Homo-oligomer: A and B are copies of this chain.
Amino acid sequence: MQTKIRALRKERKLSQEELAEAVGTTRQTITSIEVGKYTASLPLAYKIAHYFGLTIEEVFDFSELEQL
């Protein structure tokens, strides 16, 4: 799944490590989500979006799910 996490992180000059600590997870988890290795859980998605002052829908791209 596509996300704006990397762009938001760069904007604020945060390392993956710093973001990980801020949202209570590990650097590897942030990397994996950024490169699309897997999709964040709902609680983690919320913590990340909320950390940036945004909604989940603003940070995560759900366009792949719109074929209903």
Contact = CB atoms under 8 A, between A and B. Distances in A.
Interface string A38-55: 011111011100110001
**Interface size class, chain A:** 20 to 34
User: How many copies of this chain sit in the oligomeric assembly?
Assistant: 2
- Helix, strand, loop or mixed for chain A's interface? helix
A41 B39 contact: yes
Interface in A2-51: 22-24, 39-43, 45-47, 50-51
6 contacts: A39-B41, A39-B42, A39-B43, A40-B42, A42-B60, A46-B65
Question: Can you list the 9 inter-chain pairs with the closest CB atoms, starting with the nearest?
Answer: A56-B56, A46-B62, A42-B45, A42-B42, A39-B42, A55-B57, A40-B42, A43-B65, A46-B65
